[in-house]
Amino acid sequence: MIVSCELETSGNGKLDGYWQMCQVDTLTTGGVTDTRESLIYWGIQGKLLQIRYSENNVYLGEGLLFRFENDNSLLTLSSPVVHHLYETDEPIDDVELLKPYGIYRLEEKFTIEQLDDKYMILTNDVLRLHFRRY
């Protein structure tokens, strides 16, 4: 008898993991904001991206979920929802809820400027987001 098993991998490479947003640069004004104290984290695995956030080290809600596509130079986020553990997730149709996390469209496209074992830098039309692997 021959048995075979196959490990399922996401194909996301270095993108998979838990990332802390450390800095946000505003492209039009040159402004720089240190966001380490905001405790905004992006968790990426498979085809889902979860954003978790906290105030005073207390996580608020279960976070936000997005589907995403990665083609090694472009990261496209789509289908945002407010994620609830024990209730039905709520689709987001107001982009204003996403802006505090650097997302300015319901389907947002980020250019991947840097992605390695320690750092990730994403840029959209408005912002450059700096992350460190957590």
Q: In sequence order, which residues have a C-beta less than 8 Å from that of residue 57 and are 6 or more positions away?
A: 39
The strand pair at 90-91 and 74-82 is best described as: antiparallel
Find out whether 80 and 92 touch, Cβ atoms under 8 Å: yes
* Res. 59 pLDDT band, cuts 50 70 90: low
Quick one: how far is CA 128 from the chain centroid? 13
Find out whether 71 and 53 touch, Cβ atoms under 8 Å: no
- Look up the pTM and report it: 0.87
For the CA atoms of the chain, what is the radius of gyration? 16
* pLDDT in the model for residue 21: 97
* pLDDT in the model for residue 72: 77
Find out whether 104 and 125 touch, Cβ atoms under 8 Å: yes
Report whether pLDDT(64) > 60. Answer: yes
* pLDDT in the model for residue 81: 95
* C-beta neighbour count of 118 within 10 angstroms: 10
